[in-house]
Structure 1
Amino acid sequence: MNSRIVILGAGESGVGSAILAQKKGFDVWLSDAGQIKPKYKQVLSNYAIPFEEGKHSEDEILKAAEVVKSPGIPEKAPLVKKIREAGIPVISEIEFAGRYCQAKTICITGSNGKTTTTMLTYHLLQKAGLHVGLAGNVGHSFAWQVAEQNFDYYVIELSSFQLDGMYAFKADVAVLLNITPDHLDRYDYKFQNYVDSKFRIIQNQTKDDFFIYWSEDPVIQQELKNRTIAATCMPFAYGQAPENGAGINKDTLTINWNKNTFSMSIFDIALQGKHNVYNSMAAGLAGKVLNIRNEKIRESLSDFRGVEHRLERFLKVHGIEFINDSKATNVNSTWYALESIHRPIVWIVGGVDKGNDYKELEQLARDKVKAIVCLGTDNKKIVDFFTGIVPDIIETQDIKDAVRASYYLAKDGEVVLLSPACASFDLFESYEDRGRQFKMAVREL
């Protein structure tokens, strides 16, 4: 029997998968077309896992019984097509690790808010004294933790790319926050393909599992009409809380589950802003179905510190507040950012456009944005759309120039908001890199 597993990509998920595969007795080989970071190279050497970098040796890769692919490598890549043509299964790290995981999984997806909700849910479970790991898009590799830790619970943030490579994996608690157009370049510019990808979060669920979702989301509403849901449904929305679910009424957040009610004032929630109230309802519901006590849920929702690069209010310079929202890599994320600020904004925007439609930002930009500072190698689409809507538009291709320009455009009491609505890969390694460089440039003012 062929026991060869090939891992494509040597980031956190790839290296974790390689460690787990080796531990389970597979013949492992790892291949990365780029240069592997020194810290990961060191780990591979320590575990004596054979690897290559700077190329993909097709003849070696096509000997695999199964391939674990990094979520960053698109299906359209010629190598992935060849692997599939050879009839070799291609799976994600989450699918692979799930085979060896006995722990309960709380899996969270959505176009926006998933990192905040994941971190908040993890915080809640930790506070309750549960033995819990944090994995997926945040935290450490799920596979690596399954190989070397023994957690009872995992809170896992899942992107659509990770969900695409999952087949037998099941979430015990699935959370779907919202669905708005994103990553359409990876889905043949067909929104339904992306929607189907997000709904993989509930695949394989049974009546013993839970599905937590935002019931006001029009896309989710429509999809639920066309699907049979096996799990117990736990909707959340503004308005009266359902019998099993969450709601907001007269500034009170209420969660009902199994004839047990939890409530607290929305003004006591640590994360302010309408979108964060949704995130808090989702995390609170996950806590309830895991039978966490009300006082622990209340404590967690009221003392959570937030997520770096997500509406991070981190510094004031001469009365100008600088907000780092580098994690806003799509239009809808930026909509939430603009909507939550009630002072004049100098908005830093731009990067790799993923098929953005800026129409939904038009009214907010008219009402709130006094100037735009573009930050990207190609800003034409942004300039064309917002000319005549925002009085001042400046183009930059360097974070220091962008920060300096925004500083000169803003006045005491106003806000400079980095909320790019685009991916970061034209000028930065990642949205984290973009956020950190932004903060460094602000500190140097």
Structure 2
Amino acid sequence: MIDYKGYQNKKILVVGLAKSGVAASLLLHKLGAFVTVNDWKPLSENKDAQQLLDQGIKVICGSHPVELLDEGFELIVKNPGIPYSNPLIKGAIAKGMPVITEVELAYHISEAQLIGVTGTNGKTTTTTLIHEMITNDDKKSYVAGNIGTVACEVAQIANKGEAMVIELSSFQLMGIRQFAPSISIITNIYDAHLDYHSSKQEYVEAKAAITKNQSEEDMLIVNADQEELMSAVENTRATVIPFSTKKVLSEGISSDGEHIVMNGESVIALRDIVLPGRHNLENIMAAIGAAKTYGVSNESIRKVLGEFSGVKHRTQFVRELNDIKFYNDSKATNVLATQSALEAFKVPTVLLCGGLDRGNSFDELASSMSNVKSAIVFGETADKMSETAKSAGVENIIKVKDVEEAVAAASEVAISGDVVLLSPACASWDQYPTFEVRGDIFIDAVNKLK
């Protein structure tokens, strides 16, 4: 950890706790800042705030009072989940106070080489693959960000000569000022989180921010099949390494139909890759680009791709029962992710879908439902999902209360040779606190089937 002096004796307000807020508060306190923490949950119900109070950190709980801004803070560190429309955050910006997220802190103290991964879909798979490839090459690597431990916590233990692979959301990237990974990856860009961002343009700009501070010595690995994305990063100073699943590239990463090739060099035969689905080819190419740029051998890359079958909650194989295969794709929180999952299977599929209603349509999902024999719908979007399934010609549509009931219903309609796929196309927050909880409930219910 670098003994960074930039926050010493500065008056800093941390808004919002949870894992990132606690980690940021403790780090800033260690770095000599005068920290005040503000969280909406009352102190009596707030174990995180009580922990910080015990450390001598000032805590204000129960609401986000705008009057706090009159105390002359020099910096705001915002929990990524708090929108910029929050009156306290809006007020800070209006007063010209810088508002950052904790990944900025991680950047300032990190001795390790930072590899940043963002995009609408595929972040977790790509991040995991890069980490596994580096580790398999007998090099030390840590994963951080959305995939696990808070980045500014990991940065305190990752040393020089090691890698820190960070999964980054648009929420986090909107709050960076100097953050600059030496290798950055943008897997793809599609409509998502428009309930948080004011527009699609703001969302795209937030993703593209991963490269805004990179220099000529840094690398940007980016999806060349998306014109909108390529346009968004056209002013980058980083060296661009494009990848494509649709065309052969003389420079960059693509496929010649039999192998994945980088800059003319065959890295791995397609037949040797275990991870299913065309959408995962994007993730694999991005990971190969990052790993080879970092100095990982082809042998280590091939070993990982020959064994890696997916991450938890992302088209995760759970069990085979009576010749029926069950897959957990709870991380599919948007239409595109569910389309990708459906297109990975060529057999009759029982689709379990539904969740938080963000007001969007699911019409685009219909084109990918040709193999869906039954749709089992739940959550706030159950009726919308039913209409989409009907428009796709799905004859058997069952409405249930939740994921557990959906598994029971699926076990009744699935027959030998079918796939049962939980791929909700929605966030989980109408019924479950996270997509992980939703996926774990699915796994538990499937494993109880007899």
TM normalised by structure 2 equals 0.90
1:306 aligns with 2:310: yes
SS at match of 1:147: coil
CA-CA distance at 1:75 after TM superposition: 0.9
How far is the alpha carbon of 1:183 from its aligned partner?
A: 0.7
Find 1:150's aligned residue among 159, 168, 172. Answer: 159
Show the counterpart of 2:40: 33
- Identical aligned pairs, as a percentage? 36
Q: Match of 1:56?
A: 64
In 1, the alpha carbon distance for the partners of 2:36 and 2:336 equals 39
Superposition map of 1:179-258 within 5 A: 179-188=189-198, 190-223=199-232, 227-238=234-245, 242-256=249-263
Matched AA of 1:18: S
Q: Is 1:377 equivalent to 2:380 in the alignment?
A: yes
- The Cα shift of 1:82 comes to 2.4
* Structure 2 portions without partners, runs of 5+: 1-7
Q: Structure 2 residue aligned with 1:440, among 423, 427, 444?
A: 444
- CA distances 1:2-41 after superposition (whole Å, capped 9, x unpaired): 7222222222211111121011100122222137998856
Report how far residue 46 of structure 1 moved. Answer: 6.6
Deviations 1:176-204 (A, max 9, x none): 1111111111223x322211111111101
Contact 2:110 2:156 in 1 (8 A): no
Aligned equivalent of 2:187, options 177, 184, 192: 177
Greater shift after overlay, 278-287 or 49-58?
Answer: 49-58
Q: What's the offset of the Cα at 1:115?
A: 0.4
Contact kept in structure 1, 2:118 and 2:167, CA below 8 Å: yes
Could you say what secondary structure the match of 1:212 adopts? strand
Question: CA–CA distance in 2 between the matches of 1:159 and 1:232?
Answer: 22
Deviations 1:327-375 (A, max 9, x none): 000111001100001111111111113453423321221x111121112
Distance 1:127 1:3 in 2: 42
Q: Closer, same or farther in 2 for the Cα pair 1:301/1:62, shift >3 Å?
A: farther
Return the offset for 1:379: 2.5
Amino acid at match of 1:167: R
Contact 1:326 / 1:431 at 8 angstroms: preserved in 2? yes
Greater Cα shift, 69-78 or 380-389: 380-389
- Residue 28 of structure 2 corresponds to residue 21 of structure 1: yes
Instruction: Specify which of 334, 337, 344 is matched with residue 330 of structure 1.
Output: 334
Match of 1:130 among 139, 146, 155: 139
Give the residue type in structure 2 aligned to 1:350. G
> Is the 8 Å Cα contact of residues 69 and 91 (structure 2) preserved in structure 1?
no
Does structure 1 residue 3 correspond to structure 2 residue 48? Answer: no
Q: TM-score, normalised by structure 1?
A: 0.91
Determine if the alignment matches structure 1 residue 294 to structure 2 residue 298.
yes
- Indicate the SS of the match to 1:185: coil
Listed one character per residue, the Cα deviations across residues 102-134 of structure 1 (whole Å, up to 9, x for unaligned) are: 332111111111100001101111222323221
Secondary structure of the equivalent of 1:134? strand
Secondary structure of 1:211's counterpart equals strand
SS in 1 for 2:281: helix
Q: Does 1:386 align with 2:396?
A: no
> What secondary structure does 1:31 align onto?
strand
Structure 1 ranges of 4+ moved more than 6 A: 35-39
Query: Is 2:371 the counterpart of 1:368?
Result: yes
Q: Deviations over 1:71-120 (max 9, x none)?
A: 11111122222222333221111122212223321111111111000011
Q: Which amino acid aligns with 1:379?
A: A
Q: How large is the RMSD of aligned CA atoms in angstroms?
A: 2.4
* Superposed CA offset, 1:211-258 (max 9, x none): 11121124324445xx323211111113675444111113211122xx
CA distance in 1, matches of 2:312, 2:320: 17
Return the letter of the residue paired with 2:74.
A
| 8 Å Cα contact 1:239/1:249 also seen in 2 | no
Does structure 1 retain, via aligned residues, the 8 Å contact 2:111–2:158?
Answer: no
SS of equivalent residue, structure 1 residue 347: strand
Alpha-carbon distance, 1:62 to partner: 4.9
**1:356 aligns to what SS in structure 2?**
coil
Deviation of 1:431 after TM superposition, in Å, equals: 0.4
Relative to structure 1, the CA distance from residue 19 to residue 396 in structure 2 (aligned partners, 3 Å threshold; closer, same or farther) is: same
Q: Which amino acid is the alignment partner of residue 433 of structure 1? A: V
Q: Which residue of 1 aligns with 2:89?
A: 80
